[in-house]
Structure 1
Amino acid sequence: MILINDAATLDNDGATAVLTLHNPPVNALSRVLREGIAAGIEAAAADGAVEAIVMICEGRTFIAGADIKEFGKPIEGPSLRELEDIVESCPKPVIAALHGTALGGGLELALACHYRIAVPSARLGLPEIKLGLIPGAGGTQRLPRMIGLKRALDMIFTGAPVGAATAHTLGIIDELAAGDLRAEAVRFASDIVREGRPQRKISEEDGRLAGEDVEAAIEEARATHGRKMKGFDSFEKALEAIANAARLPFAEGMAREGEIFAELLAGAQSKAQRYVFGATRAAAKVPDMAADTPTRSVTTVGIIGAGTMGGGIAMNFLSAGIPVTIVEAKPEALERGTGIMRTNYEASAKRGRIRPEDVDRAMGLLSPSLDMADLADRDLIIEAAFEEMAVKKDIFARLDGIAKAGAILASNTSYLDIDDIAATTKRPEDVLGLHFFSPANVMKLLEVVRGEKTATDVVATAMKLGRDIGKTAVLVGVCHGFVGNRMLSARQREANKLILEGAMPWEVDRVLTDFGLPMGPFQMADLAGLDLGWNRETSKGETIREQLCEADRRGQKSGAGFYDYDDKRKASPSKLVEKMIRARSKADGIKRRQISDEEILERLIYPMINEGAKILDEGVALRASDIDVVWINGYGWPVYRGGPMFFADTIGPAVVLTTMRELEERMGADFKPAPLLVRIVEEGRNFTGAV
């Protein structure tokens, strides 16, 4: 065995040289690995006893991508493109042996090899689009030549990896390994030499694209991916680069791919998306909690409430194979809730998201009950009842006498004080908040609310459990609304003021959707239902929302709210609502005026940033990046803008502070700058350290 460098060794297995790579934890293509591969290929090529070369990785995966820490820095050692040229021009066949994941640059390098073999469990993909980039080392040129434009467009735009079996069917993988990968790869290499197979160079193959209708493929990609990719700079650039595989010679396509990659890498959107990638990873780490903190076993779950939230929460655990007992007070409510759960599963099966047999498997893990005593042996119990403190306190007081010792008791409250809820029990150390977002079976965010007395192992369990059920868990502290809803309240306050001062709901909403959010505050209110928390007996008609509810305009479900809706729930501006708003302004003595889009955006976004600064200062959020992860995963903040706090850094905290001071002078204390915002500007810092 020859030690090439710290990341590569070379040894001969008969007439096949095996280049073994090891760059933990995921064999990223950093400088040391690139240098090791280049030197190993050259050494094997120069060895007269070697007839073929196998490239294989140690550890749990093949090369899982480029080293993101090197992005934007001068390249040292051979670049990935140079490395691919070395591999492809090698006079002896080079076979990539894949296991784990071959992602991004790892797959691009494998495509530059002459052949590929993989274990059946391997997964292959080009996820660069998720970082606001395109594959930059030949992925947009080699993949279409191998599998055609349509398939390549789908793989690159979803960024999702495909399994080895699918990759074999597509032609990306030449063989599936039936046993030990190294032994199978050496056998495959020997077969290639014995059979005299040519050294396949994808860069020289154009036959797969010869009959392609490029424009039709592009339009199909627009129809399939355009809505999801709206606002992303990388969308049009990726379309151009991939189409170039059919339009241009390989060398010209590669040159343009490199230019596009560099343009995107230097752009604000990719910087934001790469920041979000790191922020999401950071959110899983709790600074004051050791990584090896023990967790409690959660093999059974109980849920109180089978309404929209309770049912959605239950589906997360059922889909993960965890049995759930769900409790309701009335039989009709229990039947309705479990029926909706089944309907949701069946709809997913019809769309092909799960297999038909998965519906019965998941529902078979559900135990409906009308008796809270049936939760006595559950490891975790989540209360998803009405958002009223008295209701929740009563439930937790009862649970205290029912739940077994060591059970975790959680509330799905959106706003209420977890410490007050925990105080109704004799075990506040076992209590925390698990704030799921609606629809709970779809939305990625889970705010894990740590109370004053919540035990460390309970926090560790909740964070791990969030990952286990496919959520992005973010640890937050106790305050009204926690992180997301507290900031949302600041935005909603200004939205409600804006429509009385001169803007209309559809104008306010348009500014936010133009900014990149999926919907504005009034669209969101109509979707959720204007009567949430509203009571006809106590309503005084003092706000537009109360007046709408009193007029039975309760949102989409009633066919009218801030907007009018047709039978397909398509919204249109309402003359009646406009008249109602103008009358309210007059009654309140507010002189309406023309309000610019710029003011609307500043009035909606800057108070959110200001509230985020308060949240940070109070320790409710551990990091500014955690706030951004909350808003991206729970409220649809456009990932290409990086989150509210990253956006503040992008435009400059001084700009936010100056505007807040101007608004405070004109409009009062609602715009008083947060002390942390002032300090950050005075000290020349920013919130995230990423800009």
Structure 2
Amino acid sequence: MGNINAAVDLQQDGDVAVIVMDNPPVNALGYVLRGGLMQAMEAVRAKPEAKAVVLIGTPRAFSGGADITEFGTIQKQPLLPEVIAVIEAFDRPVIAAMSGVALGGGLELALGCHYRVAAPGSKLGLPEVKLGILPGAGGTQRLPRLMGPVAALKAIVAGTHIPVEKAEGLVDAMCATREEAVAFARSCIGKPLARVRDRDEKLQEARANPGLLDEAAAPLLKRARGQLSPAACVQAVMGAVNLPFDEGLALERKLFRDLVNSKESRAQRHAFFAEREATKVPGMPAGLKAAPVKKAAIIGAGTMGGGIAMCFANAGIPVTIVELKQDALDRGMGVVEKNYRTAVSRGSMQEGDVAKRMALFTATTDWSAIADADVVIEAVFETMEVKREVFTKLDAIAKPGALLASNTSTLDVDQIASFTKRPQDVLGMHFFSPANVMKLLEIVRGKASSYESLARALAIGRAIGKVSAVVGVCDGFVGNRMLHKRSAQAEALLLEGALPQQVDAVVTKFGFPMGPYAMGDLAGLDVGWRIRQGRGTTAPIADALCEAGRYGQKTNAGYYKYDGRTPSPDPEVQRIIAEQQRKLGVNPRTIGDDEIFERMFYPMINEGARILEEGIATRPSDIDVIWMNGYGWPIRTGGPMHYADTVGLKHIADRLDFYADRNGDETLRPAKLLRDLANQGAGFAPPTKAAA
């Protein structure tokens, strides 16, 4: 506890006052910290011996930003803009000494200081756009004055962390220690105060060329797919260029208030907390520590195996890839290196990093190489017989206590565990393709999976930068089980009269990056065809496309025809659909976009309710996490279950009953949980304080 309040300590180092922020874990700028800063500044004002001020946090965090649990509530005074205004107007130099992270309101606080220094390795950024808002304490007005409006616009709309070494214009000096920061502050005594608000030299080019920001904003807004906050960020940065500072600040604050009260921001704040909740396993012993992973092994060098291995190498963890045949191993490693070379060509990796990453790989056909691995993940062909063979070998070779995981997307993890004498060490780790890109890791908990195994899997997810969710065992787990319901409706809609391009347009308009048919073409239609053949099921139109050799992009023809990767509607597909309609005696009809929308999404939500009933998912928000991070569900709606609550469960249940009656399809009937909640006028989850 500090001498100002619980979060702030005021110290004196000769002629420099040092204000220390310590509000664990990341110095969130809640009202206690804000109030402490105001009191500390007033205390320094009364100290004529203090010729300069250093504002410092902890090694972990200068400040991670606002306390978002205060959003949507009446915030206690002082607000952050008021704190920054006092610092900016102070009559002696105030230096922000940043270390760890300075994000969101934390960076805005630093921008309000007269100078900024930072420890090497610090990360700066304004990630508010990821919460459906914009920087509301001057960030959109001050950052362009230091970085230039184009660079600032890209940083604010992307919301990504900026390594301090690349934060051009933001930092006046690199100071690794508090002592160095104090020495820098001492060097500023007597100099004119450098207020960011008064600087406009980097705004001149954009003022002289009004189209410059429009050009920079266009691709950013296209990627945003209709989200409100990126467009508001652009508007605010344009205000920095075109308006006097105080007017730009007022515009920013108005835009912030509008956004923070929007459904979109509430949904994105829900997503933020949902990701953190998804890693909490009921019953997990408090304080359980996961054993460290010093070496990983992957069985299979195909697309999934290579991608999973890259996840470990990218995190600096040595990884062994095992294949049955040398040619398959060489081919897989060639793809891995090609992926890294592509990253270099795109500027997301340095040339020197390729050799460093590749040096972490051991490629072999010798299974004994996995004997010292802490985790072994199989990524082989998706049949139970192949899994039996692999896990029998793993059981014999892997060291005691090693985590044995299957990347299966549908198969019974309990049966896979039964192939070993250590089922407590077995679980599913379902990565999504491409594994080195997609954020989601679906951790599948078997009946015998120990808490130690779950803790280790969750720790691995954190180490390799994944968003993890723990689910139970069933066919397809959570994500693919719900996807199967959408796929069934996609097939039915084509038989009844819709066209692929019409359905895909409805889905992408909602915010998905791709519609179901374009996605199927990308993944390869033959994959689902083989699965259906193995299960003895059919999908008349999808099967007919495969029988015609139309497997998707790989054959330049699927639901669409392709020129490279560019799809276009194909009359041949319409002919195949019409032929199947005749065979099945279906009279096609005109289907409107509203029906398409409801049949694409409401059966999925209904299946989510069944998943909750069965305990396959612990929380509705876990389902949201899976769909937003693994399948492209638009984050601005908060995931399928959160979205259902905003629509109203009674409406969804009534529409499902309508389609079940009209189509004679009892699988569309509302799940008991959905119907019960609808009758109560309730939602899947009560609104949280932060999302309210």
**1:31 and 2:31 aligned:** yes
Q: Which residue of structure 2 aligns with residue 199 of structure 1?
A: 193
Q: Which residue of structure 1 aligns with residue 421 of structure 2?
A: 426
Deviates more, 1:533-542 or 1:296-305: 533-542
C-alpha separation in 2, matches of 1:688 and 1:505: 34
1:565 to 553, 562, 565: 562
Q: Which amino acid aligns with 1:577?
A: V
C-alpha separation in 2, matches of 1:301 and 1:5: 47
2:213 to 211, 218, 239: 218
Q: 1:360–1:540: structure 2 CA closer, same or farther, 3 Å change rule?
A: same
Q: 1:150–1:331: structure 2 CA closer, same or farther, 3 Å change rule?
A: same
**1:517 and 2:515 aligned:** no
User: Does the residue aligned with 1:289 lie in a helix, a strand or coil?
Assistant: coil
Offset at residue 112 of structure 1 (A): 1.1
Q: Which residue of structure 2 aligns with residue 257 of structure 1?
A: 252
2:81–2:138 Cα contact (<8 Å) kept: yes
Q: Which residue of structure 2 aligns with residue 653 of structure 1?
A: 649
Q: CA RMSD in A?
A: 1.9
2:322–2:366 Cα contact (<8 Å) kept: yes
2:620–2:684 Cα contact (<8 Å) kept: yes
User: Does the residue aligned with 2:257 lie in a helix, a strand or coil?
Assistant: helix
C-alpha separation in 2, matches of 1:541 and 1:33: 62
1:295–1:461 Cα contact (<8 Å) kept: yes
- Equivalent residue pairs, number: 684
Offset at residue 291 of structure 1 (A): 4.3
Q: Which residue of structure 1 aligns with residue 291 of structure 2?
A: 296
Q: Which residue of structure 1 aligns with residue 93 of structure 2?
A: 93
Q: Which residue of structure 2 aligns with residue 64 of structure 1?
A: 64
1:518-538 Cα distance to aligned partner (Å, 9 max, x none): 111111111111111535999
Offset at residue 678 of structure 1 (A): 1.5
**1:270 and 2:265 aligned:** yes
Q: Which runs of 5+ in 1 are unaligned?
A: none
- 1:463-502 equivalent positions in 2, closer than 5 A: 463-502=458-497
Offset at residue 44 of structure 1 (A): 0.8
Offset at residue 161 of structure 1 (A): 2.2
Q: Which residue of structure 2 aligns with residue 186 of structure 1?
A: 182
User: Does the residue aligned with 2:657 lie in a helix, a strand or coil?
Assistant: helix
Q: Which amino acid aligns with 1:176?
A: M
C-alpha separation in 2, matches of 1:58 and 1:559: 56
Q: Which amino acid aligns with 2:674?
A: L
**1:408 and 2:431 aligned:** no
Offset at residue 223 of structure 1 (A): 4.0
TM-score, normalised by the number of residues in structure 2: 0.96
2:174 to 169, 176, 196: 176
User: Does the residue aligned with 1:3 lie in a helix, a strand or coil?
Assistant: coil
TM-score, normalised by the number of residues in structure 1: 0.96
Q: Which residue of structure 1 aligns with residue 309 of structure 2?
A: 314
Q: Which residue of structure 2 aligns with residue 608 of structure 1?
A: 604
C-alpha separation in 2, matches of 1:288 and 1:357: 45
1:43-68 Cα distance to aligned partner (Å, 9 max, x none): 21122222222212246211210110
**1:663 and 2:639 aligned:** no
1:540–1:546 Cα contact (<8 Å) kept: no
**1:556 and 2:553 aligned:** yes
Q: 1:499–1:467: structure 2 CA closer, same or farther, 3 Å change rule?
A: same
Offset at residue 402 of structure 1 (A): 2.2
Offset at residue 186 of structure 1 (A): 2.2
Q: Which has the higher contact order (CA 8 A, sep 6+)?
A: 2
Q: 1:17–1:325: structure 2 CA closer, same or farther, 3 Å change rule?
A: closer
Offset at residue 569 of structure 1 (A): 2.0
User: Does the residue aligned with 1:4 lie in a helix, a strand or coil?
Assistant: coil
1:214–1:246 Cα contact (<8 Å) kept: no
1:509–1:520 Cα contact (<8 Å) kept: yes
Offset at residue 673 of structure 1 (A): 0.7
1:126–1:155 Cα contact (<8 Å) kept: yes
Offset at residue 508 of structure 1 (A): 0.9
Q: Which residue of structure 2 aligns with residue 349 of structure 1?
A: 344
Offset at residue 313 of structure 1 (A): 1.0
C-alpha separation in 2, matches of 1:477 and 1:150: 47
**1:688 and 2:682 aligned:** no
Offset at residue 621 of structure 1 (A): 0.7
Q: Which runs of 5+ in 2 are unaligned?
A: none
Offset at residue 298 of structure 1 (A): 2.4
- 1:520-669 equivalent positions in 2, closer than 5 A: 520-534=515-529, 543-566=540-563, 568-667=564-663, 668-669=665-666
Percent same amino acid among aligned pairs? 49
1:299–1:323 Cα contact (<8 Å) kept: yes
**1:447 and 2:442 aligned:** yes
User: Does the residue aligned with 1:237 lie in a helix, a strand or coil?
Assistant: helix
C-alpha separation in 2, matches of 1:55 and 1:377: 48
1:25–1:59 Cα contact (<8 Å) kept: no
1:526–1:556 Cα contact (<8 Å) kept: yes
C-alpha separation in 2, matches of 1:520 and 1:2: 55
Q: 1:50–1:373: structure 2 CA closer, same or farther, 3 Å change rule?
A: closer
1:679 to 662, 676, 680: 676
User: Does the residue aligned with 1:5 lie in a helix, a strand or coil?
Assistant: coil
Q: Which amino acid aligns with 2:50?
A: V
C-alpha separation in 1, matches of 2:139 and 2:436: 34
